[in-house]
């Protein structure tokens, strides 16, 4: 841990052993606090001062080498979902990332840049900026000699007061693949309400999505660029019980709205070309 000390910023960024002894960055700005694990380059917390946490973390999450963290922002790369013989959602969330640089920006935000070691024919950097908002950018460069393709996604778990009263806007008139039926559907309602297991990949959408949460009296806003897919997921009752690293009742206080490029929207990169998936999360009182 001591060799990481050079990345600390007095009063703003410290590095300590977190759960399971895994290195954790603790960040404080005038507006907010945040936590990042090097394991998976995983943002496990972001909280604005005077507000409830914006990100949901499961009380049952593992914190161990080789296991993904349940909650926060799992970083999905270079494939999304199951792949026979390989870990679900890619290897990026299972690796120990390296700190490239940290810094205090002139407006008082803290910027952290992490890189993914041994990323095959990719150069992968994850840049997290913490201030009044949480901004994240996954930058990927093709360092191989041939065109490559991959999926990416910031699999963000949001904390909500009561899933029954939450509504989601921004995905009206958007086509989606229902992962539960494998059918393609069109979102026809003016907002989405969750009252059962929902697992959908909305395609060809660059739209900002908002989560309206009357219980916590706030709206969460998810703005993105370099992303053409949005996933909406809540495991509901039965799947919650099947997941060993997730509490049986925790589906009531969480909702995943994930920004990325999946399936038919996956990214193709020519040799030396780069892509950038950017997501900015903000909140306001209802
Ligand atoms: C979502 C998928 O993105 O991630 C779901 O759409 C999946 O199908 C969920 O269950 C959690 O995946 P994992 O691998 O973290 O358990």
pLDDT, tens digit, for every residue of 150-175?
A: 999 999 999 999 999 999 999 999 99
Span 96-100, average pLDDT? 98
Give residue 160's pLDDT: 98
* pTM of the predicted protein model: 0.98
Shortest-distance atom of ligand 1 to CA 88: 14
Cα 165 to ligand 1 centre (Å): 23
Alpha carbon dihedral 18, 21, 23, 24, in 10-degree steps, equals: -10
Give residue 1's pLDDT: 65
State yes or no: pLDDT of 251 exceeds 90: yes
State yes or no: pLDDT of 22 exceeds 70: yes
Place of tokens 């150069």: 123
187 among known catalytic residues: no
Q: Which of 39, 155, 187, 210 is catalytic?
A: 155
State yes or no: pLDDT of 90 exceeds 80: yes
Nearest Cα residue to 100 out of 76, 128, 75: 128
Protein residues with CB under 6 Å of any ligand 1 atom: 68, 88-89, 155, 179, 199, 231, 233, 258
Produce one character per residue of 231-246: b if its CB has 16 or more CB atoms within 10 Å, e if not: bbbbbbeeebeeeeeb
Kindly report the average pLDDT of the chain as a whole number.
Answer: 98
Which of 40, 62, 81, 229 for a ligand 1 pocket mutation test, highest count of atoms within 8 Å of Cβ?
A: 81
Report long-range pairs for 2-7 (Cβ below 8 Å, ≥24 apart).
4/99, 7/99, 7/101, 7/102
| Atom 13 of ligand 1, nearest CA residue | 88
Contacts (Cβ under 8 Å, ≥6 apart) of 182: none
Give residue 45's pLDDT: 98
* CA count, 13 A, side-chain hemisphere, 54: 32
Measured CA to CA, the distance from residue 106 to residue 239 in angstroms comes to 45
State yes or no: pLDDT of 94 exceeds 90: yes
State yes or no: pLDDT of 47 exceeds 90: yes
8 among known catalytic residues: no
Cβ distance 67 to 57 under 8 Å? Answer: no
């Amino acid at each position: 841990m001591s060799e990481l000390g050079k990345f600390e910023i007095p009063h703003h960024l410290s590095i300590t052993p977190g759960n399971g002894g895994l290195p954790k960055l603790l960040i404080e700005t005038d507006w907010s606090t945040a936590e990042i694990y090097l394991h998976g380059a995983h943002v496990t917390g972001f909280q604005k001062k005077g507000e409830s946490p914006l990100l949901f973390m499961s009380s049952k999450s593992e914190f161990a080498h080789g296991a993904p963290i349940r909650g926060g922002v799992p970083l999905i790369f270079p494939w999304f979902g199951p792949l026979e013989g390989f870990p679900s959602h890619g290897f990026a969330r299972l690796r120990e990332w390296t700190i490239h640089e940290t810094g205090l920006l002139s407006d008082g935000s803290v910027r952290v840049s992490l890189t993914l070691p041994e990323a095959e024919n990719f150069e992968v950097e994850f840049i997290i900026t913490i201030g009044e908002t949480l901004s994240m950018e996954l930058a990927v460069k093709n360092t191989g000699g041939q065109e490559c393709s991959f999926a990416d996604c910031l699999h963000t778990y949001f904390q909500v007061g009561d899933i029954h009263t939450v509504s989601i806007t921004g995905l009206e008139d958007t086509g989606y693949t229902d992962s539960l039926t494998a059918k393609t559907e069109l979102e026809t309602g003016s907002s989405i309400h969750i009252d059962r297991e929902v697992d959908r990949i909305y395609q060809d959408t660059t739209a900002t999505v908002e989560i309206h949460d009357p219980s916590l009296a706030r709206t969460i806003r998810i703005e993105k660029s370099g992303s053409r897919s949005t996933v909406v997921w809540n495991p509901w009752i039965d799947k919650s019980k099947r997941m060993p690293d997730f509490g049986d009742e925790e589906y009531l206080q969480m909702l995943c709205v994930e920004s990325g490029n999946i399936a038919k929207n996956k990214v193709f990169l020519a040799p030396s070309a780069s892509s950038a998936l950017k997501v900015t999360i903000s909140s306001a009182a209802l």
